[in-house]
């Protein structure tokens, strides 16, 4: 598994497509709490996490159950952990949940890449 993280609008998907060409992409959505593990790149994991919170699904348990299917995937997620802690409970829970989810994924990833301004830096 390759985990690509970074801030919003930093070029994470473009980085993945340019550095790992020919891969199919699944776009996560805040309306759908599932992912298509048949695709090679899972983009915007944080949006799926928000959809799962709204549906009462434990994202960390969900991902833990999918680890065998994710071992050859590229997973892209926005860093939503910096800045002011949100006042709204749902937004705080989302932030905490995604922190735990990325901790799980980074421990199981072969590579973790942070993308800033379109430039990838290997952190694992």
Would you state the pLDDT for residue 83? 78
What domains, with CATH codes, occur in the chain? 2-122 (3.40.50.300)
User: pLDDT by residue (tens digit) across 10-45?
Assistant: 999 999 999 999 999 999 999 999 999 999 999 999
- For residue 3, pLDDT beyond 90: yes
Would you state the pLDDT for residue 85? 83
More confident residue, 83 or 103: 103
Would you state the pLDDT for residue 82? 78
User: pLDDT by residue (tens digit) across 41-100?
Assistant: 999 999 999 999 999 999 999 999 999 999 999 999 999 987 788 889 999 999 999 999
In 3D, which of 58, 60, 56, 34 has the Cα closest to residue 47?
Answer: 34
Question: Which residues pair with residue 77 across a beta bridge?
Answer: 5
Give yes or no for a contact between 94 and 22, defined as CB atoms under 8 angstroms apart: no
Would you state the pLDDT for residue 99? 94
Could you give the C-alpha distances from 76 to 20, 89, 94, in angstroms and in order? Answer: 13, 25, 16
Average pLDDT over residues 105-115: 98
Question: What's the pTM?
Answer: 0.94
Q: What are the DSSP calls for the chain, one per residue?
A: -EEEEE-TTS-HHHHHHHHSTT--EEE-BTTB----TTSSEEE-HHHHHHHHHHHT--HHHHHHHHHHHHTT-EEEEE---SSSPPSSHHHHHHHHHHHHHHHHHHHH-SEEEEEETTEEEE--
């Amino acid at each position: 598994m390759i985990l690509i993280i970074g801030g919003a609008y930093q070029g994470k998907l473009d980085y993945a497509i340019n550095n790992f060409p020919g891969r199919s992409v699944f776009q996560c959505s805040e309306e759908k709490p599932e992912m298509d593990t048949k695709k090679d790149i899972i983009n915007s994991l944080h949006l799926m996490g928000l959809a799962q919170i709204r549906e009462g699904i434990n994202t960390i348990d969900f991902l833990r159950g999918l680890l065998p299917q994710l071992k050859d995937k590229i997973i892209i997620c926005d860093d939503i952990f910096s800045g002011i802690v949100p006042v709204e409970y749902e937004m705080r829970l989302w932030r905490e949940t995604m922190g735990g989810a990325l901790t799980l994924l980074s421990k199981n990833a072969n590579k973790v890449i942070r993308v800033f301004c379109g430039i990838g830096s290997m952190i694992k």
